[in-house]
């Protein structure tokens, strides 16, 4: 039996480790099954455009987001479905958005890359690499401006780290001391370019030193390790308005987008298979089974329940109407009510 | 009525709106300690403190994005670009983020943000510092673009821009900051999207905005001495454009000159001429003529620069041409 | 439960994929995620993965074949599972390639038992053509000048209209002699006799002279398809006049036998055409860009006018149907067409078409080919005509003019003419239709 150490965040939430781990496992499996369904829908032409899956990286989003309070903020890239679900955006509204339907969280106007949900402070998936990093910095500025003690977590791929917007943002966050947690999800490839072919340094987290920002490297396949790192970062943000840069190392099990082969051109099948052995869901399941926190039968039940949720999301999306053509001109500008 | 400069009119607008609404803050290079590169923000740091008058590093893309993020969660940033030439570095945030956030979030996140700063040429600043960007910005659905030409308009339009719940671009003019005009003591707003007929006449319309309003007024004065009466239509807001004001004037005068600061190709004037040909075809007694900057980068040498810019003489010549008057 | 394997959209812009290589054989065990095949998309060669477990029961697409996204390319199922209905259900969503692209024999008798009809025509509603009167553009009010164009500003034109001035008699003071506002004012002030005659054409410019109709979807489809046809298809026309005396007598005799035996002239023509086509697969053909497909089965399209426009329902295997069956089926299809109840399966897949405007007293016309078909027959009105008989005497006989439009890429003049000869024999000797 492992030591009775309480996991990060469990004390505040008043939960046992087992309950906490079950929730994390549930969220990750939900994201996985949801996106497998997305891949199927994409293949059948239900979903169009660019579609980037999170499969393999679930522990990063789940670990970070599970540590947040409701009044904290999340902002991310176009690889956003998994994190949206981790944050509590309903699978129905995400699927309907992917189907381009009126019940989508962005009314079918945004699609896969632009999942937004004001109800859970999910500030969007953004399509320009690095473009949302200054926005995250601005949200942190607003938190400090108002004297609040929330935080914002900003996910980005490791390729964004070479972008000017990243450096400009970290400079201001370090200079002004803003409550932002920049999370580099290092999945080793910016589309098809290996990190060592794009970055002058191998350890991305060290970029934080340049801007006087606390930084750390984290195992992104271990959701509990992610939570530990996030816990420390949140403490810095809430107590001292201090930013943090986390480099969370992970791997995407799918191609960059749906039009990209899983392996072959820029990464080998052997490498992929090596990483598949470190599936974040299997890692957590194994830990929980070893600690006697869950049984195979319970996992099977969970899978069954999630299967129903995911099918329901599909059915809901499929039944939702297409946006009416009048919607084309709606939401370009808003009627000004203040002033 | 007090006579104050365009610069002070903008300063008053900022001060009044910051007093009125504590969500409003000013951010940009040199806006605080230095009191503004063009002194538009003079005294504001002292009055409102460094959280609301924020000096930034020279990092246009970064601080424009900070403004966008702050606007997403309910603040009302006024982002100053030292000039719009530098704002090119920030256009990803203006075009890809601010202009589209409402639309791509399905109406969830509007953008109450102002991007402002001087636009177009001053004197002998040469190619990189002398560009008029209105057609670039007005091209983008999701933005509003205003270009005040007088101190009165500068104050009224900036106040309305700050209160607007959408991203508004305010194009000022370095050569206008010292321009004096009457500005009343009592508060007023100028609605966005409405042009003003700055001068009435029935021989020819001059349609213009921003810095060129002054040139149009001088042309109207000069031509009046020859008995030629000009309708001067000041657009005030370039997007959304007050098309009705344009066509009403052209239908009255049957002749139009479009005067703009920027380049000819795909300029704002192209769009204005399109509205005129669509709505006033049977009313035109001559082709519309455009007066604009020469189709070159801005030169440094004095004589070359003068020859490149739209000015009074070119405007008068254009009016005479559409009126079939031999020069 | 069996799992269907579809051609998947493996890139955002992919519309069809070429199955490069099957990596599993029929009967191989597969599990979810296994790579079944390599597929060439518009961008790259991608892997098509299994979405179910079991045995690869059926491969429905051959290596090297390209099929549209969504096409059923195979079935995964348990060892003993019955998948026949799954395979059969693939029909409508399936591209034509899996069956029709196999090498075909030109021998009309060599295919006694082919599979169910496979729609080979594009999915868009097939429409045939009749010569429609184009909308006449509104007459222009521009004044006619002596020996050329009068230059004037739009305003001057309008003022001249309002004041009833003839612009050709006004001299222009603008550049190049352009008449401008001041010239009109001067003309009015001078009171010169430049007024236009009373029969001014300007009254034509009012809106009662034309009506703008919005384009319905079917009208747009007609426009697109017809333009496609008349553009790239080098068409020629063969006109022949048939003697319908015997057919007319036969019809009269059948009508006299009672309603059960009543057939229309159109039914006789359809039956004759179908029978003739069966003997001339060279005109019962599709032009498919890189090849010509000669059809051994005759699926005859019949153009039907509806309130929405033309549509061409299909009488499948028309050559094998008795005249009474054709009569019933053509009537039913025409009714469904007018009620807009045709399903796509009922209006796609024709191999040759017939358009008949005889009932509207059109003596003769040319119809536009409904691609990828290579021919269409335009049927005119049956008329009593005086002709010189073989013995030199004059007699009045029922005559019919038909015009066949032929796609010259597939059909040469003599080929089309031979088909018309056969058709003539059929129609002039209607007993051949029951032979």
Chain segment C244-293, per-residue pLDDT in tens = 888 888 888 888 888 777 888 899 999 999 999 999 988 998 887 777 78
Chain segment C229-239, per-residue pLDDT in tens = 666 777 889 99
Q: Which residues contact C300 (CB under 8 A, 6 or more apart)?
A: C270, C273, C274, C277, C314, C315, C318, C350, C351, C352, C353, C354
* A&B contacts, CB < 8 Å: 157
Across the range C36-48, mean pLDDT stands at 80
Which contacts of C130-136 are long-range, i.e. CB under 8 A and separated by 24 or more positions? C130/C303, C130/C305, C130/C310, C130/C355, C130/C357, C130/C365, C130/C367, C131/C365, C131/C366, C131/C367, C135/C210, C135/C213, C136/C210
Torsions phi, psi of A287, nearest 5? -60, -45
SS3 C344: helix
ipTM score here? 0.94
pLDDT band with cut points at 50, 70 and 90 for residue C422:
very high
CA distance B154 to B4: 11
Q: Is the pLDDT of residue A307 over 60?
A: yes
Tell whether A250 lies on the interface with B, counting CB pairs under 8 A. no
CATH 3.30.559.10: which residues of chain C? 218-433
Q: Which residues contact C117 (CB under 8 A, 6 or more apart)?
A: C297, C299, C316, C349
B217: distance to nearest CA of chain C, Å?
26
Say if CB A231 and CB A8 are below 8 A apart: yes
Highest mean pLDDT among C86-100, C205-219, C355-369: C355-369
Is B60 a known active-site residue?
A: yes
C153 to chain B: which residues are within 8 Å by CB? Answer: 284-286
Tell whether B281 lies on the interface with C, counting CB pairs under 8 A. yes
Q: Which fold has domain C218-433?
A: Chloramphenicol Acetyltransferase (3.30.559)
Question: Phi/psi class of residue A60: alpha, beta or left (left: φ > 0; alpha: ψ in -120 to 50)?
Answer: alpha
Q: Is the pLDDT of residue A246 over 70?
A: yes
Inter-chain CB proximity A131 and B74 less than 8 Å = no
A117 to chain B: which residues are within 8 Å by CB? Answer: 108
Torsions phi, psi of B261, nearest 5? -80, -30
Q: Which pLDDT score is estimated for C190? A: 80
Which contacts of C280-284 are long-range, i.e. CB under 8 A and separated by 24 or more positions? C280/C415, C280/C418, C280/C419, C280/C422, C281/C106, C281/C108, C282/C410, C282/C411, C282/C415, C282/C419, C283/C352, C283/C374, C283/C375, C283/C406, C283/C411, C283/C415, C283/C416, C283/C419, C284/C351, C284/C352
Say if CB C27 and CB C51 are below 8 A apart: no
Q: Which of A55, A26, A2, A47 is nearest to A279 (CA)?
A: A55
Q: Which of A203-217, A227-241, B311-325, C174-188 has the lowest mean pLDDT?
A: C174-188
Chain segment B53-74, per-residue pLDDT in tens = 999 999 999 999 999 999 999 9
Inter-chain CB proximity B281 and C181 less than 8 Å = no
pLDDT band with cut points at 50, 70 and 90 for residue C195:
low
Chain segment B151-199, per-residue pLDDT in tens = 999 999 999 999 999 999 999 999 999 999 999 999 999 999 999 999 9
Q: Which pLDDT score is estimated for B197? A: 98
Q: Which pLDDT score is estimated for B68? A: 98
Rg (alpha carbons) of chain A, rounded to whole number:
20
Q: Is the pLDDT of residue C40 over 90?
A: no
Question: Phi/psi class of residue B30: alpha, beta or left (left: φ > 0; alpha: ψ in -120 to 50)?
Answer: left
B12: distance to nearest CA of chain C, Å?
47
Q: What's the distance, CA B324 to chain centroid?
A: 31
The alpha carbon torsion through C288, C292, C298, C301 (nearest 10 deg) reads 40
Tell whether A335 lies on the interface with B, counting CB pairs under 8 A. yes
Say if CB C293 and CB C300 are below 8 A apart: no
CA distance A95 to A105: 9
Q: Is the pLDDT of residue C115 over 50?
A: no
| Chain B residue whose CA is closest to C154 | B282
CA distance A22 to A16: 10
Hey, what are B85's tokens? 């030439």
| Chain A residue whose CA is closest to B160 | A339
CA distance C209 to C228: 31
Which residues 256-285 on chain B approach chain A with CB closer than 8 angstroms?
none
Candidate from A145, A165, A335 with C-beta closest to B75: A145
Q: Which pLDDT score is estimated for A3? A: 47
Q: Is the pLDDT of residue B16 over 50?
A: yes
DSSP labels for C51-99? SS-EEEEEE-S-TT-EEETT-EEEEEE-TT---HHHHHHTGGGS-THHH
Q: In terms of CATH architecture, what is A10-319?
A: 3-Layer(aba) Sandwich (3.40)
Q: Which pLDDT score is estimated for C82? A: 85
Inter-chain CB proximity C10 and A48 less than 8 Å = no
Report pTM. 0.68
Q: Which pLDDT score is estimated for B167? A: 98
C265-279 and C413-428 are packed helices; what angle lies between their axes, rounded to 10 degrees?
130
Across the range A134-154, mean pLDDT stands at 98
Hey, what are C244's tokens? 């319908």
Inter-chain CB proximity B92 and A131 less than 8 Å = yes
Say if CB C294 and CB C107 are below 8 A apart: no
Q: Which of A140, A139, A142, A89 is nearest to A114 (CA)?
A: A89
Q: Which chains touch C (3 or more CB pairs under 8 A)?
A: A, B
Candidate from A123, A164, A332 with C-beta closest to B103: A332
CA distance C43 to C69: 14
CA distance C247 to C397: 11
Residue scoring higher pLDDT (B263 or C7): B263
Q: Which pLDDT score is estimated for C250? A: 87
Chain segment A6-26, per-residue pLDDT in tens = 787 776 677 899 999 999 999
CATH number of B196-322: 3.40.50.920
pLDDT band with cut points at 50, 70 and 90 for residue C295:
confident
Across the range B200-229, mean pLDDT stands at 97
Q: Which of B122, B113, B110 is nearest to B80 (CA)?
A: B113
Residue scoring higher pLDDT (C345 or C48): C48
Question: Percent of chain C beyond pLDDT 90?
Answer: 26
Tell whether A118 lies on the interface with B, counting CB pairs under 8 A. yes
User: Residue A313: in which H helix or E strand, if any?
Assistant: helix A296-319
CATH 2.40.50.100: which residues of chain C? 3-91
Across the range A56-81, mean pLDDT stands at 97
Q: Which pLDDT score is estimated for C288? A: 79
CA distance B140 to B240: 11
Per the document, the length of chain A is: 339
Inter-chain CB proximity A168 and B61 less than 8 Å = yes
Say if CB C367 and CB C128 are below 8 A apart: yes
- Residue A14 half-sphere exposure toward CB, CA atoms < 13 A: 0
Every domain of chain B and the residues it spans: 3-182, 196-322
A258: distance to nearest CA of chain B, Å?
21
Q: Which fold has domain B3-182?
A: Rossmann fold (3.40.50)
CA distance C29 to C78: 9
pLDDT band with cut points at 50, 70 and 90 for residue C144:
very low
Say if CB B283 and CB B187 are below 8 A apart: no
Q: Is the pLDDT of residue C194 over 70?
A: no
C155 to chain B: which residues are within 8 Å by CB? Answer: 254, 282-285
Q: Is the pLDDT of residue B96 over 90?
A: yes
What is the residue-averaged pLDDT of chain A?
A: 94
Do B196-322 and B3-182 have the same topology in CATH?
yes
* B&C contacts, CB < 8 Å: 27
Q: Which of C351, C346, C223 is nearest to C292 (CA)?
A: C351
pLDDT band with cut points at 50, 70 and 90 for residue B253:
very high
Domain C3-91 has CATH 2.30.31.10: no
Say if CB B129 and CB B83 are below 8 A apart: yes
DSSP labels for C255-284? HHT-GGG---HHHHHHHHHHHHHHH-TTTS
Q: Is the pLDDT of residue A128 over 70?
A: yes
């Amino acid at each position: 039996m492992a030591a009775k150490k309480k996991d990060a965040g469990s004390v505040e939430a008043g939960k046992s480790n087992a309950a906490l781990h079950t929730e994390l496992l549930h969220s990750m499996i939900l994201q996985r099954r949801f996106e497998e369904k997305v891949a199927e829908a994409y293949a059948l032409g239900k979903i169009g455009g660019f579609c980037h899956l999170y499969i393999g990286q679930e522990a990063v989003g789940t670990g970070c987001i599970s540590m947040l309070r409701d009044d904290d903020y999340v902002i991310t890239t176009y690889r956003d479905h998994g994190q949206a679900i981790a944050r509590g955006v309903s699978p129905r509204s995400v699927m309907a958005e992917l189907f381009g339907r009126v019940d989508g969280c962005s009314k079918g106007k945004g699609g896969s890359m632009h999942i937004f949900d004001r109800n859970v402070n999910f500030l969007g998936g953004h399509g320009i690499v690095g473009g949302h990093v200054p926005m995250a910095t601005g949200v942190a500025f607003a938190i400090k401006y108002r004297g609040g003690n929330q935080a914002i977590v900003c996910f980005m791929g490791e390729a964004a780290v070479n972008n000017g917007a990243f450096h400009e943002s970290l400079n201001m966050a370090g200079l002004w001391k803003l409550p932002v947690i920049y999370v580099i999800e290092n999945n080793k490839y910016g589309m098809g370019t290996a990190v060592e072919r794009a970055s002058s340094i191998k350890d991305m987290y060290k970029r934080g030193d340049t801007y006087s920002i606390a930084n750390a490297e984290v195992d992104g396949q271990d959701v509990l390790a992610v939570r530990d790192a996030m816990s420390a970062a949140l403490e810095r943000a809430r107590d001292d308005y201090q930013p943090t840069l986390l480099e969370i190392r992970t791997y995407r099990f799918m191609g960059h987008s749906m039009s990209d082969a899983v392996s072959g051109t820029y990464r080998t099948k052997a490498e992929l298979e090596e990483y598949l052995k470190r599936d974040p869901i299997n890692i957590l399941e194994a830990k929980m089974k070893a600690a006697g926190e869950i049984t195979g039968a319970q996992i099977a039940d969970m899978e069954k329940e999630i299967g129903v949720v995911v099918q329901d999301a599909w059915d809901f999306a499929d039944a939702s109407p297409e946006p009416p053509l009048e919607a084309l001109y709606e939401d370009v500008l808003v009627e000004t009510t203040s002033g | 009525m007090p006579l104050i400069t365009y610069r002070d009119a903008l300063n008053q607008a900022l001060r009044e709106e910051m007093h009125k609404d504590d969500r409003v803050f000013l951010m940009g290079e040199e806006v605080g300690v230095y009191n503004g590169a063009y002194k538009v923000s003079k005294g504001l740091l002292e009055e409102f403190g460094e959280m609301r008058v924020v000096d930034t590093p020279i990092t246009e893309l970064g601080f424009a994005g900070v403004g966008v993020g702050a606007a997403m969660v309910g603040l009302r940033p006024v982002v100053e670009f030292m000039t719009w030439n530098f704002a090119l570095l920030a256009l990803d945030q203006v075009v890809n983020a601010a202009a589209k956030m409402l639309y791509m979030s399905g109406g969830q996140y509007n953008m109450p943000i102002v991007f402002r700063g001087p636009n177009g040429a001053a004197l002998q600043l040469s190619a990189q510092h002398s560009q008029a960007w209105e057609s670039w910005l007005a091209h983008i659905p999701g933005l509003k673009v205003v270009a005040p030409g007088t101190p009165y308009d500068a104050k009224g339009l900036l106040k309305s821009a700050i209160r607007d719940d959408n991203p508004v671009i305010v194009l000022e003019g370095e050569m206008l900051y010292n321009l004096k005009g009457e500005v009343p003591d009592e508060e007023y707003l100028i609605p966005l999207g409405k042009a003003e007929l700055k001068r009435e006449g029935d021989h020819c319309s001059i349609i213009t905005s921003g810095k060129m309003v002054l040139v149009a007024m001088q042309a109207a004065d000069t031509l009046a001495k020859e008995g030629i009466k000009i309708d001067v239509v000041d657009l005030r807001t370039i997007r959304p454009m007050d098309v009705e004001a344009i066509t009403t004037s052209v239908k009255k005068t049957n002749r139009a000159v479009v005067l703009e600061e920027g380049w000819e190709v795909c300029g704002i004037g192209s769009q204005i001429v399109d509205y005129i040909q669509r709505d006033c075809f049977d009313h035109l007694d001559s082709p519309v003529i455009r007066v604009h900057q020469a189709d070159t980068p801005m030169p440094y040498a004095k004589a070359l620069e003068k020859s490149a810019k739209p000015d009074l003489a070119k405007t008068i010549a254009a009016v005479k041409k559409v009126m079939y008057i031999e020069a | 439960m069996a799992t269907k394997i579809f051609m998947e959209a493996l890139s955002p812009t992919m519309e069809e994929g070429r199955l490069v290589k099957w990596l599993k054989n029929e009967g191989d065990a597969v599990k979810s995620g296994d790579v079944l095949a390599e597929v060439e998309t518009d961008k790259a060669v991608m892997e098509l993965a299994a979405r179910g477990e079991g045995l690869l029961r059926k491969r429905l697409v051959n290596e090297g074949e390209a099929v549209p996204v969504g096409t059923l390319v195979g079935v995964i199922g348990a060892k003993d599972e019955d998948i026949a209905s799954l395979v059969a259900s693939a029909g409508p969503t399936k591209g034509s390639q899996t069956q029709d692209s196999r090498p075909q024999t030109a021998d009309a008798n060599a295919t006694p038992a082919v599979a169910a009809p496979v729609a080979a025509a594009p999915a868009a509603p097939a429409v045939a053509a009749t010569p429609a009167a184009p909308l006449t553009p509104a007459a222009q009010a521009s004044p006619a000048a002596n020996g050329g164009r009068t230059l004037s500003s739009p305003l001057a034109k309008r003022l001249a209209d309002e004041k009833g001035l003839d612009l050709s008699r006004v001299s222009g003071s603008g550049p190049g002699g352009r008449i401008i506002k001041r010239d009109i004012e001067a003309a009015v002030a001078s009171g010169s006799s430049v007024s236009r005659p009373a029969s001014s054409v300007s009254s034509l410019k009012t809106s009662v002279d034309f009506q703008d109709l919005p384009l319905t979807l079917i009208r747009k489809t007609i426009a697109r398809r017809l333009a496609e046809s008349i553009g790239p298809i080098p068409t020629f026309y063969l006109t022949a006049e048939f003697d319908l005396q015997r057919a007319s007598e036969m019809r009269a005799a059948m009508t006299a036998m009672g309603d059960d035996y009543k057939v229309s002239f159109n039914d006789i023509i359809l039956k004759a055409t179908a029978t003739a086509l069966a003997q001339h697969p060279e005109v019962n053909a599709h032009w498919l860009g890189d090849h010509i497909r000669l059809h051994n089965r005759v699926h005859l399209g019949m153009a039907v006018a509806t309130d929405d426009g033309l549509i061409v329902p299909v009488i499948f295997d028309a050559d094998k149907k008795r005249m009474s069956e054709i009569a019933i089926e053509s009537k039913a299809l025409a009714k469904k067409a007018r009620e807009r109840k045709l399903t796509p399966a009922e209006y796609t897949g024709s191999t040759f078409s017939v358009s008949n405007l005889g009932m509207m007293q059109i003596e003769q016309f040319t119809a536009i080919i409904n691609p990828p078909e290579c021919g269409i027959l335009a049927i005119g009105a049956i008329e009593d005509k005086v002709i010189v008989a073989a013995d030199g005497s004059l007699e009045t006989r029922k005559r019919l003019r038909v015009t066949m439009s032929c796609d010259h890429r597939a059909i040469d003049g003599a080929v089309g003419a031979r088909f018309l000869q056969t058709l003539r024999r059929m129609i002039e000797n209607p007993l051949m239709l029951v032979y």
